[in-house]
Structure 1
Amino acid sequence: MEEVEVVVAHRERATLRVGEVFLKVDADRARTDVEVEAMGRVPIPTPPVLWRKPPVLALGAVPGVELGRLGEVSGASAAAWAAAGAAVRRLHDAPLPPWPGLGVDAVAARLDGECEWLLANDVLPAGLVAGNRRIAEVALRPWRPAFIHGDLQVAHVFVDGDEVTGVIDWSEAAPGDAHYDLATLTLGHPERLGEVLAGYGADADIDLDVIRAWWSLRSLLVIRWLAENGFDPASPGCEVDVLRSQLKGESGPGGGEQAVRGVE
C-alpha cells in the first residue's frame, strides 16, 4: 500500500506525495492559477497537471533527482549545471506572461521592511544586515523584464545524468529580473555559477555584481518567512551563512568570490 508523504507543509500551503502523484494544497487560488498557467507557457520540462479541484492541484512526478540542495554539496556534474543554465536561458527568452511582476520599487520597499524587522527583533547583528543591504542595493536598478521562475531554488530543478528533466514550483513565475533566477539557482553554490553561465550563453548581458547583490537581497528577504514557517535559515550553508560569506568578500563555502570571478 502506498503511503502519504508530507513533502513540505507550512501556514500558506502543503505538498503531499502519494506514489507518483503530488497533491498541492493552497488556500490562495491565485497562486495556483499562476502555477498552472506558467507551466503551460514555458519552453522547458515541467510536471504534468493531472487534475485540479481547488484548493488541490494534482501533479505528476518528474524523473530524475534534484540538482542539489541549499546547505549541501551538489553531486551533479558540471554538464548538468550547464544544462540548468541553458534551460533558464530558454525560459528567459520566452514571451512574457500576461500578469504583472514586482518592480524595483516594490522590491526596495520589501527590503526596507525586512531589514527593519531583522534589526528590531535582534535576529542578526546590525553590521551583517547593513553590510548586506549595501551589497543588495546594486540589484535595485531598472531591469529589462524576462519570464522568470521567481523561486528557482536548486532543489526545484531535476536532472537525470546531464539532462534537465523538469522544473517544479511555478507559483512565483512572473516578469522580472533574469539575474534573480540565476542568483537563486546558485545561492549557496557560488562555485557552480561559472557552469550555469556557460550553459546560459556568453552572449547574455549578465552582470556578476548584480547576481552577488541578489544573493544578499534574497537572503535578507526570506529569513523572517523561513523562521516563521518552521525552517532554519541559520543551518550550515544556508541564508545566514551566505550573508556572512558576502561580507568576507566570498560568495559562500568553497571560495565563492574566486569562483565567480573565474567566469569573467
Structure 2
Amino acid sequence: MAEVEVVVAHQERATLRVGDVFLKIDADQARTDVEVEAMALAPVPTPEVLWRRPPVLALAALPGRALGRLGEPSLASPAAWAAAGAAVRMLHDAPLPPWPGRGLDDIAPELDRECEWLLTNGVLPTELVTRNRQVADAALRPWTPVFTHGDLQVSHVFLAGETITGVLDWSEAGPGDAHYDLATLTLGHEEHLGDVVAGYGSGVDLDVVRAWSSLRSLRGVRWLIEHGYDPASPGCEIDVLRSRM
C-alpha cells in the first residue's frame, strides 16, 4: 500500500504525495484557479490535472527528478541547466496570461517593509540588509512583462537525463519580469547561471538577475521563519545575502 508523504505543509497550503498522485490543498482557491489556468496556457510540460474538488487539486507525478534542491549541490549536468533555460525562454516568449501581474508599486513598498522588519527585530546585521537592499535596487526598474512562472524554484523543474519533463507549482504565475524567473531558478545555485543563460539566449542582464536574487531573499526571510522554515540553512536565503558582501 502506498504511503502518504507530506511534501509541503504550512498555514497557507499543504501538498501530499500518495503513490504517483500529488494532492494540493490550498485555503485560497484563487491561487488554485491561477495554477490550473496557467498550466493549460504554458507552452512547456506541466503535470496532468487528474481532478479538482476544492480545496483539493490532484495532479499526476512528473517523471524524472528535480533539477536540484535549495541548499544542496545540483547533480544535473550543464546541458540539463541549459535545457531548463531554454524551457524558461519558451515560456517567456508565449502570449501573456489574461490576468494582471505584480508591478513596482507592489514590490518596492513590500521590500522596504521587509527590510525594516529585519532590522527592527535584529534578524540580520544592518550591513547585510543595507548592502543587499542596494543590490536589489537594480531590479526596481520598468520592464516589459512576459509570461512568468513566478516561483520557479530549482525543485519545481523536473528532468529525465537532459530533457525537461515538467514544471510544477504555477500558483504565482502571471505577467512579470523575465529576470525574476531566472533569479529564482538559480537562487543558491548561481554557479549554474551561465548554463541557464546559454540555454535561454539573449536579453539577460546578469546584474538584474542578481538583484532579484537579493530582493527575493530579503523578502522571503520573514515568511520562511513564520512558516517554520530556516532561511539560515546552508546554501539558502541568508547565505545568498551573505554572498553579496
TM-score, length-scaled by structure 2: 0.99
- List structure 1 runs of 4+ shifted beyond 6 angstroms: none
Q: CA RMSD in A?
A: 0.5
Q: Displacement of 1:120 after TM fit?
A: 1.0
Q: For each residue in 1:88-123, what CA deviation from the matched residue of structure 2 results, as whole angstroms up to 9, or x when unmatched?
A: 000000000011110012110110110011111110
Q: Which residue number corresponds to residue 39 of structure 1?
A: 39
The percent identity for this pair of structures is 73
Of the three residues 222, 226, 242, the one matched with 2:220 is: 222
Q: Which residue number corresponds to residue 172 of structure 2?
A: 172
Matched, 1:213 2:189: no
Q: Which residue number corresponds to residue 152 of structure 1?
A: 152
Q: Which residue number corresponds to residue 251 of structure 1?
A: none
Q: For each residue in 1:130-175, what CA deviation from the matched residue of structure 2 results, as whole angstroms up to 9, or x when unmatched?
A: 1100000110000000000000000000010001001000000010
User: Counterparts of 1:67-216 in structure 2 under 5 Å?
Assistant: 67-201=67-201, 204-216=202-214
Aligned length: 245
Q: Which amino acid aligns with 2:75?
A: G
Q: Which residue number corresponds to residue 256 of structure 1?
A: none
Q: Which residue number corresponds to residue 235 of structure 2?
A: 237
Q: Displacement of 1:2 after TM fit?
A: 1.1
Q: Displacement of 1:67 after TM fit?
A: 0.2
In the alignment, the residues of structure 2 paired with residue 165 and residue 96 of structure 1 have an alpha-carbon distance, to the nearest angstrom, of 22
Q: For each residue in 1:195-242, what CA deviation from the matched residue of structure 2 results, as whole angstroms up to 9, or x when unmatched?
A: 1011001xx211111011011000001000000111100001110011
In the alignment, the residues of structure 2 paired with residue 4 and residue 191 of structure 1 have an alpha-carbon distance, to the nearest angstrom, of 35
Unaligned runs of 5+ in 1: 248-264
In the alignment, the residues of structure 1 paired with residue 43 and residue 111 of structure 2 have an alpha-carbon distance, to the nearest angstrom, of 32
SS at structure 2 position matched to 1:150:
coil
Q: Which amino acid aligns with 2:9?
A: A
In the alignment, the residues of structure 2 paired with residue 31 and residue 156 of structure 1 have an alpha-carbon distance, to the nearest angstrom, of 17
Q: Which amino acid aligns with 2:243?
A: S
Q: Which residue number corresponds to residue 246 of structure 1?
A: 244
Unaligned runs of 5+ in 2: none
SS at structure 2 position matched to 1:23:
strand
